[in-house]
């Protein structure tokens, strides 16, 4: 990114301390930019999880990524409509498009919000031959109205594991989020901001490291065994196995 543009969009970033990730050091080719989907968990007009998602998106773009931020406002509650609803289809298509994801939720009653969980609930583990989340790198972050807590990021890690994602080691928990953003919705310089930069940098590196190897990394003995048994039954029944 041009230095003058970076300075204007990321005024709190010390650019010399954040070099572009080098794909060659990670065994990755210089192919297309990493594709990152960001999800946030609040519908409030002054949603701090949305502000944090947009701050993270600026950093990801600075690091050379292509990004999409899903707006959950028009997403219906799970099972209230059919899965062919346009917002459900958009969410699933964007998840399938992604190679890495960022999940950000406020902490409410010690866990993730219903708004955030509803997005994950609409994502199937498997939809035909398409797996919208499996093998993708994942970064988790939370915002809190009070003192620092890690309940939500811990829950997000459980969700990420259940969705068969590769959750990175680093994470961010922004306490008293109402005082960490200015009147323009930008995150103020702080140790919290620096941690967000750390998490986004690590996510990009893990995405580059795993994206071309994801299918191999999550290839399972039990699934291969099941496929072989199904093929054997089909042969015994005289069925023709499509290839």
Q: For residue range 153-178, what is the model confidence (pLDDT) as tens digits?
A: 999 999 999 999 999 999 999 999 99
Higher pLDDT pick, 147 / 243: 147
Q: For residue range 86-120, what is the model confidence (pLDDT) as tens digits?
A: 999 999 999 999 999 999 999 999 999 999 999 99
CA dist 14 and 171 (Å) reads 20
| pLDDT in the model for residue 147 | 87
CA dist 154 and 103 (Å) reads 12
Placement of tokens 């059919």 in the chain: 82
CA angle 226, 232, 236 (to 5 degrees): 145
Q: What is the DSSP letter of 100?
A: E
Number of other CB atoms surrounding residue 103 within 10 Å = 29
CA dist 99 and 104 (Å) reads 17
Distance of CA 190 to the CA centre of its chain: 23
Q: What is the DSSP letter of 72?
A: G
Determine the average pLDDT of the residues in 182-210. Answer: 96
Q: What is the DSSP letter of 178?
A: G
Name the token pair of 47.
């949603």
Name the token pair of 61.
């773009």
With beta carbons less than 8 A apart as the criterion, state whether 54 and 185 touch: yes
Closest by CA position to 172, among listed 123, 145, 139? 139
CA dist 25 and 176 (Å) reads 38
Q: For residue range 6-49, what is the model confidence (pLDDT) as tens digits?
A: 567 899 999 989 988 888 877 776 678 999 999 999 999 999 99
| pLDDT in the model for residue 65 | 97
CA dist 188 and 12 (Å) reads 7
Burial of residue 185 (number of CB atoms within 10 Å: 0-12, 13-18, 19+): middle
What is the model's pTM? 0.88
Q: Please report which confidence band the pLDDT of residue 4 belongs to, taking 50, 70 and 90 as the band edges.
A: very low
| pLDDT in the model for residue 30 | 64
CA dist 86 and 93 (Å) reads 10
Asked if residue 229 has pLDDT above 50, the reply is: yes
The distance in angstroms from the start CA to the end CA of the chain is 45
Mean pLDDT (the chain, rounded)? 91
CA dist 240 and 243 (Å) reads 9
Between strands 172-174 and 166-167, the pairing is: unpaired
């Amino acid at each position: 990114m041009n230095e003058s543009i970076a300075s204007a969009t990321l005024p709190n970033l010390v650019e010399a301390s954040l070099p572009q990730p080098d794909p060659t050091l990670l065994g990755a080719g210089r192919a297309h930019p990493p594709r990152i989907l960001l999800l946030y968990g609040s519908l409030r007009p002054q949603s701090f999880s949305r502000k944090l998602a947009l701050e993270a998106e600026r950093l990801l773009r600075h690091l050379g990524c292509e990004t999409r931020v899903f707006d959950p406002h028009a997403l219906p509650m799970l099972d209230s409509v059919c899965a062919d609803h346009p917002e459900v289809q958009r969410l699933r298509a964007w998840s399938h498009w992604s190679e890495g994801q960022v999940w950000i939720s406020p902490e409410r009653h010690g866990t993730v919000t219903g708004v955030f969980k509803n997005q994950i609930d609409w994502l199937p583990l498997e939809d035909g031959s398409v797996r919208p989340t499996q093998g993708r790198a994942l970064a988790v972050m939370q915002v809190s109205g009070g003192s620092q807590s890690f309940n939500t990021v811990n829950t997000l890690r459980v969700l990420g594991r259940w969705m068969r994602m590769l959750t990175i080691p680093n994470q961010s928990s922004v306490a008293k989020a109402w005082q960490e953003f200015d009147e323009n919705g930008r995150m103020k310089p702080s140790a919290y901001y620096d941690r967000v930069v750390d998490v986004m940098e690590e996510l990009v590196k893990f995405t580059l490291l795993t994206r071309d190897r994801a299918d191999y990394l999550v290839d399972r003995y039990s699934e291969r065994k099941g496929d072989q048994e199904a093929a054997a039954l089909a042969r015994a029944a005289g069925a023709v196995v499509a290839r």
